[in-house]
Chains A and B, each alone.
Chain A
């Protein structure tokens, strides 16, 4: 799960990492008031879940509260890579002398969090990694201990940070590791870690990703989830417990099991179609879940037809068929649906589908070809979005 810069800095501050004072504003009025409170020049930073805010004009300055207001006016409502800026962080401007990079990322290979440090901060760390890999110091964290203060100091020293920053930067790094572990983060980055002209070391920008699997025990952070994180449909799906990813095409796809659904997308693409989404209903789904999933997929106005591909194991074919039949009357009239069932209960399911006059495919390939053909046969006809699934469930 993504969180905003101001939320990431909030977490860092709880662990004693120095950040500039500041607060979030939703209106130019609020921005002006915060700037007045802080006193002195401020930075206005767009709070959106994408990188490259600076280049897009999402970071502005204000030497006076009035200027802060004008800057906030400019940034609020701005479109950055398809996301509308709804809030800005108003924070004291600092005089940066040098910029460093501190990051912790979950590493699959070493099966542990890995610390990354570079003297070259303030720029895209992936660029540094690609062009000057020798400028990044990497070290896995031993999860028996966490990152102990002496290890953190050694690492920042190895990265070549100046002597007078070692104690402060080392302290910040060990606290960042503690924050990472205790917050169930999958990434925690301070970029830049700023050395100010007056010798302070502080987090000038911060990025944290929270592991979705940890959200059950990170209740406060779970409450920070916002619709703008992704497509509104993806957000709603998550709230409804569906594993859904929005894609660009027009063939709606539902299946059970991540690998099977991914393979179905590939198969539809091979048949000349363009998948509209990824939707995994998981194991053991009942008719109600199938019904809900179909109506959910059809809410995407781009969807012109739906392919259901189920390998029955714990999921039973007749339950799937019942769900599809239930959904038929609530889906846009005439929208093609092709169902492919195999395994447990598939014969019973097929019989039900046949009685209801629904199309089914022998295997994943035939079903993919059938749905693509059915959509092509109907030409450019569009459908009005289906009713919300809540109308029938609960």
Chain B
């Protein structure tokens, strides 16, 4: 078991003929992902490296029965690509694109909700279910199957921590980079609910960062969970009012500080790792 993605999930790639899109399509296939085709408007009817290419997501869904999509579309058209996927009936949309205007995202989210789709990202590395497949740009080689669910707002930090878990013999059920933008499709709480219901997952590692209040909301939800959660918060030394790389990583007034998040999590009896190197030991303690 796992959440959202397994080896049977039929996945299409929006932007499959682009350099990034094609490169990562090959990697996804190598990771075991069931890639059934791709979409590039104007290039429908052909194939690329054996994958059928369609002009629209709706056609791709009709022809392949795809239920998941990975979006590699540049910022000006990315929100439209999300809406296209949701409208075509795709239930799991993973958007890698960084730099989508926030106004576009406010509109895209309306369509995502209307069609009851789930959006991962944008501005995220995607997700991986070790041994079964991945959607996105996460390097699958660092994973090993196991009982730990993993969620994070950052890409490369995810890779660091997953490598530490794997080295410590702690395999993962599913791993999701939830995205670094202020408006993202699904928040920590959404994924925690899925892990809570997943029989394979025995514990969850959550890597948060400054900005917003998703970690505080997660702390509230964790109080009701049966499974243990280990947290890490980055940006303890970040100054207020500065955007730390991610569009969503900014302390505004008293909202979004690392200290506030750590305090909220500790109040919910969540062990918070001081450094990423402490995470494996904390996980071992609760398993």
* A and B: interacting chains: yes
Q: What is the interface of chain A, defined by CB distance below 8 A to chain B?
A: 106, 108-109, 111-113, 126, 143-144, 181, 184, 186, 211-214, 216-217, 243, 245, 247, 255-263, 265-267, 269-270, 275, 278, 280, 283, 311, 313-314, 342-344, 363-365
Contact residues, B140-177 vs A (CB, 8 A) = 142, 152-160, 163
Tell me the bound Cα distance from A278 to B159 in angstroms: 19
Contact among A243, A257, A365 with B275 in the assembled complex (CB-CB below 8 Å) = A365
Q: Are A143 and B100 in contact (CB under 8 A)?
A: no
Q: Is B76 close to A, CB under 8 A? A: yes
Q: Is B99 close to A, CB under 8 A? A: yes
Q: Is B137 close to A, CB under 8 A? A: yes
DSSP majority for the B interface? loop
- Minimum Cβ distance to chain B for residue A321 (Å): 18
Q: Is B43 close to A, CB under 8 A? A: no
DSSP majority for the A interface? mixed
Q: Is B226 close to A, CB under 8 A? A: no
Tell me the bound Cα distance from A334 to B207 in angstroms: 37
Contacts of A342 in B (CB 8 A): 160, 163
Q: Are A260 and B157 in contact (CB under 8 A)?
A: yes
Q: Are A186 and B245 in contact (CB under 8 A)?
A: no
Q: Are B242 and A245 in contact (CB under 8 A)?
A: yes
Contacts of B137 in A (CB 8 A): 283, 313-314
Q: Are A211 and B156 in contact (CB under 8 A)?
A: no
A108-B155 contact in complex given A262-B234, A262-B244, A313-B137, C-beta closer than 8 Å: no
> Which residue in chain B gives the minimum CB-CB distance to A214?
B101
Q: Is B106 close to A, CB under 8 A? A: yes
Q: What are the 3 A-B residue pairs with the smallest beta carbon separation, nearest first?
A: A259-B154, A258-B245, A257-B156
Contacts of A343 in B (CB 8 A): 139, 142, 159
Contact among A106, A217, A261, A344 with B102 in the assembled complex (CB-CB below 8 Å) = A106
Q: Is B269 close to A, CB under 8 A? A: no
Q: What is the interface of chain B, defined by CB distance below 8 A to chain A?
A: 75-76, 99-103, 105-107, 109-110, 137, 139, 142, 152-160, 163, 180, 182-183, 207, 209-210, 212-214, 234-239, 242-249, 253, 274-277
Contacts of A216 in B (CB 8 A): 75-76
Q: Are A108 and B182 in contact (CB under 8 A)?
A: yes
- Minimum Cβ distance to chain B for residue A215 (Å): 9
> Which residue in chain B gives the minimum CB-CB distance to A270?
B275
A263-B242 contact in complex given A211-B102, A217-B76, A313-B139, C-beta closer than 8 Å: no
A-B contact pairs, 28 of them (CB 8 A): A106-B182, A108-B183, A108-B213, A111-B105, A111-B106, A143-B107, A144-B110, A211-B102, A213-B75, A216-B76, A245-B242, A257-B154, A258-B246, A259-B154, A259-B245, A261-B245, A262-B157, A262-B209, A262-B210, A262-B249, A263-B160, A269-B237, A270-B275, A278-B242, A278-B245, A311-B156, A313-B137, A313-B156
Q: A126-B253, A259-B234 are in contact. List 11 more A-B contacts (CB 8 A).
A: A106-B106, A113-B106, A217-B101, A245-B244, A247-B239, A259-B156, A261-B244, A262-B238, A283-B155, A313-B139, A363-B277
Contacts of B159 in A (CB 8 A): 311, 313, 343
Tell me the bound Cα distance from A263 to B234 in angstroms: 5
Q: Are A259 and B180 in contact (CB under 8 A)?
A: yes
Q: Are A267 and B275 in contact (CB under 8 A)?
A: yes
Q: Are B245 and A211 in contact (CB under 8 A)?
A: no
> Which residue in chain A gives the minimum CB-CB distance to B154?
A259
Contacts of A270 in B (CB 8 A): 274-275
Contacts of B106 in A (CB 8 A): 106, 111-113, 143
Q: Are B101 and A258 in contact (CB under 8 A)?
A: no
A266-B237 contact in complex given A143-B107, A257-B157, C-beta closer than 8 Å: yes
Contacts of B236 in A (CB 8 A): 266, 269
Q: Are A364 and B234 in contact (CB under 8 A)?
A: no
A258-B237 contact in complex given A213-B75, A245-B244, C-beta closer than 8 Å: no
A275-B237 contact in complex given A126-B253, A211-B102, A267-B275, C-beta closer than 8 Å: yes
Contacts of A113 in B (CB 8 A): 103, 106
- Minimum Cβ distance to chain B for residue A371 (Å): 15
Tell me the bound Cα distance from A181 to B104 in angstroms: 9
Of residues A212, A245, A263, A314, which shows the largest number of chain B Cβ atoms within 10 Å of its Cβ?
A: A263
Q: Are A265 and B238 in contact (CB under 8 A)?
A: yes
Tell me the bound Cα distance from A144 to B110 in angstroms: 8
> Which residue in chain A gives the minimum CB-CB distance to B276?
A263
- Minimum Cβ distance to chain B for residue A11 (Å): 15
A213-B100 contact in complex given A263-B234, A275-B237, C-beta closer than 8 Å: yes
- Minimum Cβ distance to chain A for residue B189 (Å): 11
Of residues B106, B159, B209, B245, which shows the largest number of chain A Cβ atoms within 10 Å of its Cβ?
A: B245
Tell me the bound Cα distance from A355 to B222 in angstroms: 50
Q: Are A214 and B102 in contact (CB under 8 A)?
A: yes
Tell me the bound Cα distance from A269 to B109 in angstroms: 38
- Minimum Cβ distance to chain B for residue A85 (Å): 20
Contacts of A247 in B (CB 8 A): 237, 239
Q: Are A280 and B245 in contact (CB under 8 A)?
A: yes
Q: Are A278 and B75 in contact (CB under 8 A)?
A: no
Contact among A108, A243, A256, A259 with B209 in the assembled complex (CB-CB below 8 Å) = A259
Contacts of B276 in A (CB 8 A): 263, 364
Q: Are B248 and A262 in contact (CB under 8 A)?
A: no
Tell me the bound Cα distance from A124 to B139 in angstroms: 47
- Minimum Cβ distance to chain B for residue A366 (Å): 10
Tell me the bound Cα distance from A344 to B209 in angstroms: 26
Q: Are B243 and A245 in contact (CB under 8 A)?
A: yes
Contacts of A184 in B (CB 8 A): 101-103
- Minimum Cβ distance to chain A for residue B23 (Å): 9
Tell me the bound Cα distance from A26 to B175 in angstroms: 55
Contacts of A257 in B (CB 8 A): 154-157, 245
Contacts of B243 in A (CB 8 A): 245
Contact among A109, A211, A259, A269 with B157 in the assembled complex (CB-CB below 8 Å) = A259
- Minimum Cβ distance to chain B for residue A230 (Å): 9
- Minimum Cβ distance to chain A for residue B27 (Å): 10
A259-B76 contact in complex given A143-B110, A245-B242, C-beta closer than 8 Å: no
